[in-house]
Structures are given as C-alpha cells and as structure tokens.
Amino acid sequence: MPFEFGWEDAEEIGIQLQEKHPEIEPLSVRFTDMHKLITELPGFNGDPAKSNEGILEAIQMAWLEEYNDAK
C-alpha cells in the first residue's frame, strides 16, 4: 500500500510536488493549477473540496523551500 497523505501534510506535498515537477517554479503556479497537481499525486487521499487558500499557500511555501533546496 503506498504512503498516503492529505491536505494537512503541506511539507510532504511540497516534497512530492518538487520530486514530480522539478522544472516548475512554485511561485509561478496559480492555485487552481496547483490544486490539480496536488490531487493527481500518487498517495494523495484528501478530499479535493476541502482545500482553501491558506492550505494552498502553506503547500506553495513548502514546495518553494524544496525547490530552493534543490538548486
């Protein structure tokens, strides 16, 4: 069974997004597009309707940290 995570796991989502989309600069992604990228991640089990701007901002910042660390 694959590792599962949801909206509350901003750091894990940031790591997963960086691993899957290393070419994307996180601050260039609109929240609607980021929502789609997140819900398509393997192991993501959050309810797509349960996200909000605060959650997406936290994920974007976690992803940005991973992106900057990978440089």
Task: With a cut of 70, say whether residue 2 has pLDDT above it.
Answer: no
Domains of the chain: 10-70 (1.10.10.600)
Give the pTM.
0.94
Kindly report the length of the chain.
71
Percent of the chain with pLDDT over 90: 94
Q: Report the C-alpha gap between 41 and 62 in whole angstroms.
A: 15
The per-residue pLDDT for range 23-41, each reduced to its tens digit, is 999 999 999 999 999 999 9
Q: Give the model confidence (pLDDT) of 43-57 as tens digits.
A: 999 999 999 999 999
Predicted local distance difference test score (pLDDT) of residue 71: 86
